[in-house]
Amino acid sequence: MTEEPKPEHYCILIADDLPSNLAYFDEALRTFGYRTITAQDGQEALERIAEQVPDLVLSDVNMPRMDGFQLSLRIKKDTRTSEIPVILVTAMDDRESLAKGLSSGVDDFLIKPVNLSELQARVRNLLLVRDYRRHMRRYTTELEEQVAARTADLKQAFDQLKLANDQLRHASLDTIRRLSTAAEYRDADTAAHIWRMSTYSSAIARQLGMGDEFTDAILYASPMHDVGKIGTPDNILLKPGAFDPEEKKIMQQHTLIGESILGDSDHPLLQMARTIAGGHHERWDGSGYPRGLAGEGIPISARVVAVADVYDALTTQRVYKPAWSSEKAFELIRESAGTHFDPRCVEAFLEIRDKILDLQQIHRRKPKDRNLILAKGK
Ligand SMILES: [Fe+2]
Ligand SMILES: [Fe+2]
């Protein structure tokens, strides 16, 4: 707080029906340096207060028309004046007045005969307390305003960041989709394969009880499962017949090439894509490649994608085989639970059979529509 204001900055209202008392207090307070207003009873005091709000009220108890208690009550009830400290002047040993005064909101008492030094000290203390409270209230209000302003600034900054982040995310996903498509186009598969297997993967993950973050991530990460085929030579990748053991080995390298293409990114989506690229040909019984991982040693994202990827390969026509019916494909997946596939993933897949058939239908439409459907995260 700044230094204490001088007495002339304060105006004190004195209310007393006895002219000699009124003159006595008036003179004393003026001598101390205060400005004063006088009133002969509570009613008149209220009228004076309406004209000019004083900094403190010094009032007698017994007055005609309105006594000191009523006056105090009225002052404290009105929000424009409730902060004004009230001192009541009472007779010695008037315990009843003291109690009544307290319940009327009186701040302090002076006992008759009033000692002038005591009057000066009590007035000064009450004014100090009032100033301090006012200062704290103003300070709190200022603080609240500042907090509100900064919160609004932060919110605005956050919204902008979110917008920028959304745009960046959109751009990243678009890039991922285009790259995944490029890799698949080199294969006998069409781009439609990755759209279908990614939505199947996401649906299986949801059925397994994975949260939004995971189901969303697998939707966008699974299209990159065969990105390593970019590194597979054409004569092997496009070979219509069966592979000899050497060719098979080279073909299987696409999993490890995929891992190294996706690298050591700290982006969760690319981390998941790397896991899927490296693990989607592993088998539950340990007979898969490239590492021969088994059971829960195979990351869950790769176990989910394995089911989705194989189902789509079976139900799609390839140069070396016709498209299987969905019934036949579902049957094979069911039979392969516990050997090729994680039984839990197969169970989830079979539970959402109708959903899978719906997605299969949707993604038979022209590519433009498929883009829209994937963009919406369906
Ligand atoms: Fe693959
Ligand atoms: Fe695939």
pLDDT in tens, 16-47: 999 999 999 999 999 999 999 999 999 999 99
Encoding tokens for residue 20? 């000699």
Q: Which ligand is nearest to the CA of 302?
A: 1
Q: Give the CATH number of the domain where residue 56 resides.
A: 3.40.50.2300
Measure 333 CA to ligand 2 centroid, in angstroms. Answer: 16
Q: What is the mean pLDDT of residues 249-257?
A: 95
145 Cβ contact partners less than 8 Å away, ≥ 6 residues apart: none
| Predicted pLDDT of residue 112 | 86
Q: Which ligand is nearest to the CA of 282?
A: 1
Across the beta sheet with 56-60, the strand order is 35-39, 11-15, 56-60, 86-90, 108-111
Q: Which ligand is nearest to the CA of 189?
A: 2
The count of other CB atoms within 10 Å of the CB of residue 210 is 19
CA–CA distance from 298 to each of 146, 164, 353 (Å)? 53, 36, 24
Q: State the pairing for strand pair 35-39/86-90.
A: unpaired
Measure 303 CA to ligand 1 centroid, in angstroms. Answer: 13
| Predicted pLDDT of residue 43 | 96
Measure 309 CA to ligand 1 centroid, in angstroms. Answer: 8
Structure-model confidence comparison of residues 316 and 58, the more confident one: 58
Q: Which ligand is nearest to the CA of 197?
A: 2
- My answer on whether 281 and 353 are in the same domain is yes
Q: What type of residue is 146?
A: Q
Residue 10: its H or E element: none
Examine residue 158 and state whether it is found in any structural domain, yes or no: no
Measure 144 CA to ligand 1 centroid, in angstroms. Answer: 59
Ligand 2 is a single-atom ion; what residues have CB below 5 A from it? 226, 309
Examine residue 303 and state whether it is found in any structural domain, yes or no: yes
- My answer on whether 124 and 212 are in the same domain is no
- My answer on whether 192 and 131 are in the same domain is no
Examine residue 256 and state whether it is found in any structural domain, yes or no: yes
- My answer on whether 220 and 123 are in the same domain is no
Rg of the chain (C-alpha set): 43
Span 230-245, pLDDT tens digits: 888 888 887 878 899 9
- My answer on whether 210 and 322 are in the same domain is yes
| Predicted pLDDT of residue 166 | 85
Please tell me the total number of residues recorded for the chain in this structure: 378
Final residue in a domain of this structure, among 138, 173, 197? 138
Measure 281 CA to ligand 1 centroid, in angstroms. Answer: 6
- My answer on whether 219 and 301 are in the same domain is yes
Measured distance CA(237)–CA(227) in Å, rounded: 13
Measured distance CA(236)–CA(117) in Å, rounded: 109
Average pLDDT score, the chain: 88
Examine residue 168 and state whether it is found in any structural domain, yes or no: no
The count of other CB atoms within 10 Å of the CB of residue 98 is 14
Cα-Cα-Cα-Cα dihedral of 164, 166, 168, 171, to 10°? Answer: -140
Measure 15 CA to ligand 1 centroid, in angstroms. Answer: 97
- My answer on whether 108 and 238 are in the same domain is no
Measure 94 CA to ligand 1 centroid, in angstroms. Answer: 98
Measure 326 CA to ligand 1 centroid, in angstroms. Answer: 21
- My answer on whether 211 and 101 are in the same domain is no
Q: Number of folded domains in the chain?
A: 2
Span 178-202, pLDDT tens digits: 777 666 665 545 678 888 999 999 9
Burial class (CB in 10 A: 0-12, 13-18, 19+), 20: exposed
Measure 258 CA to ligand 1 centroid, in angstroms. Answer: 9
Measure 5 CA to ligand 1 centroid, in angstroms. Answer: 84
- My answer on whether 126 and 241 are in the same domain is no
Q: Which ligand is nearest to the CA of 318?
A: 2
Contact between 60 and 17 (Cβ < 8 Å): yes
- My answer on whether 258 and 365 are in the same domain is yes
Going by pLDDT thresholds of 50, 70 and 90, the confidence category of residue 15 is very high
Measure 254 CA to ligand 1 centroid, in angstroms. Answer: 7
Measured distance CA(253)–CA(339) in Å, rounded: 22
Measure 199 CA to ligand 2 centroid, in angstroms. Answer: 13
Cα-Cα-Cα-Cα dihedral of 287, 288, 294, 295, to 10°? Answer: -110
Going by pLDDT thresholds of 50, 70 and 90, the confidence category of residue 174 is confident
Measure 219 CA to ligand 1 centroid, in angstroms. Answer: 16
Q: Which ligand is nearest to the CA of 309?
A: 2
Measure 224 CA to ligand 2 centroid, in angstroms. Answer: 9
- Domain of 274, in residue numbers: 186-375
pLDDT higher than 80, residue 290: yes
Measure 198 CA to ligand 2 centroid, in angstroms. Answer: 10
Encoding tokens for residue 376? 């919406």
Examine residue 152 and state whether it is found in any structural domain, yes or no: no
Q: What percent of the chain has pLDDT above 70?
A: 91
Measure 226 CA to ligand 2 centroid, in angstroms. Answer: 6
Structure-model confidence comparison of residues 189 and 270, the more confident one: 270
Task: Output the CA torsion sign for 343, 348, 351, 353.
Answer: negative
Final residue in a domain of this structure, among 138, 167, 202? 138
Angle at which helices 68-77 and 95-103 cross, to 10°: 20
- My answer on whether 236 and 318 are in the same domain is yes
Q: Kindly report the CA angle at 353 between 349 and 356, in degrees rounded to 5?
A: 85
Measure 243 CA to ligand 1 centroid, in angstroms. Answer: 15
Q: What is the mean pLDDT of residues 74-95?
A: 89
Does pTM surpass 0.75? no
Measured distance CA(101)–CA(130) in Å, rounded: 19
- My answer on whether 294 and 370 are in the same domain is yes
Q: Give the CATH number of the domain where residue 362 resides.
A: 1.10.3210.10
Span 300-347, pLDDT tens digits: 999 999 999 999 999 988 767 789 999 999 999 999 999 999 999 999
Examine residue 148 and state whether it is found in any structural domain, yes or no: no
Measure 196 CA to ligand 1 centroid, in angstroms. Answer: 15
